[in-house]
Structure formats: C-alpha cells, structure tokens
Amino acid sequence: MKVFISRRIPEDVVRLLQQENMEIAYNNSDRKLSREELVEACLEADLLFNVGSADLNASFMESCKHLKGIALTSVGYDHADLHAATRYGIPVSNTPDVLSKTTADTAFLLMLATSRKAFYWSRQIERGAWKDNGFLYELGIELNRKTLGVFGLGRIGLELAKMAKAAYGMTVIYHNRSRNAEAEELLDARYVSFDELLEESDVLSVHTNLTPETQYRFDAECFRKMKKNAIFINTSRGKVHHEKDLIRALQEGQLWGAGLDVTDPEPMLPENPLLQMPNVCVLPHIGSATLETRTAMATMAAKNLIAVYHGGKMPQVVNK
Ligand code: DGY
C-alpha cells in the first residue's frame, strides 16, 4: 500500500511508516496543496495522511473513493465529510486526547492575556507608543476567584478548568449535552443551563465540535445575556461564534473582552477591527502547536494508517 503524506511531519514519524515497509509519497514542505494537487496525489495512493485542515468534502471523497483510509491530524473533523467517507467505505481517524492539555494551555493563555490586555500593550511597544500612561489607563481585570463557564466540558475543557481552579481558585460551571461526573467530583463543577452559563460566567470558554447545532451558537442574543465584564474565549472553531455579533458586542461594551484562537474565515483579514481592540487577543489557530503535541498527533495518525495497512481497524476511527 502507498501512503501520501500531504505536508511536512516529524522525521521520526516518517521513519515509523518506513519501518513498516510502506511505500511513501510525501509533500515534504510546509506548503498547503491545492485541492487539485491533493486529489492528484491521492489518485496514486491507497492511504492519506492528511496534515492540516484541507477541506475533504463530498466531492473530494468521490474523487478519491478508492482510498482505504484517511488519518486526520486534528481532534476536530468538521473539515471531512464523514457521511461521504462512510458511503465509500473509507475509515477516517482523528487525534483525540494527545492535544487536550496543549489546547487548554492556549485557552488559558488567551484568558490571561485578554484579562491583562497583553497583546494591545505589546503592539504599543512595537509602534513606539510606550509612554508614561495614566494611573487608570487601559487597566486589566483579575481572574482570581471569578467564575469560569465552560461550553462543552470534555477532555480539553476539563484541562482548562483544572488549571483555572488551581491557579485562581475559579468556580467552574459548565453546559454540555451530558453531565461530566469527573469534573463535578474533581472540581466541584456545577452543571447549568445554557442561559445560566451566559449569565453567570466571568470567563466563558468554548470547547465544542463544530456541528449544525453549534454553528453560530454564540450570537448577539447570547452576548447580550452575558455580564458586561465577561471575557469570551474560543479555541474550538471560528464558526461557533458569530463574528460580526461579537465585534458589535465588544464595540457596544456588552462584553469586556475576547480571546480567540479560531476565526471565521481563517486566516483572519488584517483589517479586521478585532485586531485593533485593546481588550481582544487573537492567535492564528495554534491551539495544539507545540513540537511535543504535534509529534504525538502525527504518531497517532501514523498508527491509524499502520492499522489499516495490517488489515485492522483504525484505533481512533470517527466513522463506522
Ligand atoms: C484540532 O485538533 O481540531 C485543532 O483545532 C487543529 O485543527
């Protein structure tokens, strides 16, 4: 079987595949392939090691229906049409767990950076605008003993909640489709309705998959219900919040600030007004971007393809 690796991955992981005597075709660069290039490369392959977030939609699946397996290098799989993959009998895997702590770190970083307007102050220095500011000029707010609300308290949300509790003694509330017994036991987390989550959170952090139910779930009406001194954090997918509504809510002072690792579209355009707001911190979707975590994700993806190569089932298959 021949595997196509769509972008540069750690050498150790390439070796892992080579040790299995798999034939490898490799885009050994950081350049994202065009749709046409990806399809063309896949036509020559049996397995796809899909690095990044290429849109593997129904037409891609149809063009590549001969594939025997696709390994994604992300926990989210909204960029792959699983119904189409299933229709053609292609198993698809993701990379859960190994990135939970790192993605939670990113949410924590944004929470703290936003609360202290850190990116704004850094921009001031770069612009040569560091001067003797007033005593009360562009102050931050503190997280100590505040309430963290988690929307989607799964593996990543739990890691964030643990950090928030340990570092700042934050009270944890959450809203999920189902109760999280571990969080309730470990952190005294309280399950609340969606409206209570909006109304009670000082920091509201989003950790959910993008689905038809969660798309644009955080809109103008939600932001109106939140506290005026609340911070909104999103490290999941940019389409979970309605960006124009978020901008308006921040401009009108309905919210205190926002920290985003995900935007809609990505990349965010440089003229986006969010980038000029002192109380907003934006990162370019680097939630899992550490050497250790990316290596663990790539290793997991490789092991899923190796399982197919040996005639087995992918351990992290997301479609049946
Ligand atoms: C994930 O793993 O889903 C990250 O957001 C990268 O896309």
Specify the pLDDT at position 18: 97
* Model confidence at 320: pLDDT above 90: no
| Residue 240 CA, ligand 1 centroid: distance in Å | 14
- What's the mean per-residue pLDDT of the chain? 97
- State the total domains in the chain: 2
In a domain, 160, yes or no: yes
Q: Is the dihedral of CA 181, 187, 188, 189 positive or negative?
A: negative
Global confidence as pTM: 0.97
| Residue 79 CA, ligand 1 centroid: distance in Å | 10
Q: Check if the beta carbon of residue 215 is closer than 8 Å to that of residue 241.
A: no
Alpha helices in 194-318 (DSSP H): 194-200, 220-225, 243-251, 291-309
Q: What ipTM does this complex have?
A: 0.92
For the segment 112-148, what is each residue's pLDDT rounded down to a tens digit? 999 999 999 999 999 999 998 899 999 999 999 999 9
Clarify whether residues 114 and 206 are in a common domain: yes
Specify the pLDDT at position 105: 98
Clarify whether residues 174 and 57 are in a common domain: no
Clarify whether residues 91 and 110 are in a common domain: no
Full domain range(s) for residue 43:
2-98+290-309
In a domain, 320, yes or no: no
> Candidates 75, 78, 98, 285: which one to mutate for ligand 1, based on the most atoms within 8 Å of Cβ?
75
In a domain, 298, yes or no: yes
For the Cβ of 75 lying below 6 angstroms from any atom of ligand 1, the answer is yes
Clarify whether residues 161 and 109 are in a common domain: yes
| Residue 109 CA, ligand 1 centroid: distance in Å | 17
For the segment 77-86, what is each residue's pLDDT rounded down to a tens digit? 999 999 999 9
Clarify whether residues 173 and 294 are in a common domain: no
Q: Can you tell me the mean pLDDT for 67-87?
A: 98
For the segment 167-176, what is each residue's pLDDT rounded down to a tens digit? 999 999 999 9
CATH number at residue 199: 3.40.50.720
- The number of the ligand 1 atom at minimal distance from the alpha carbon of 235 is 5
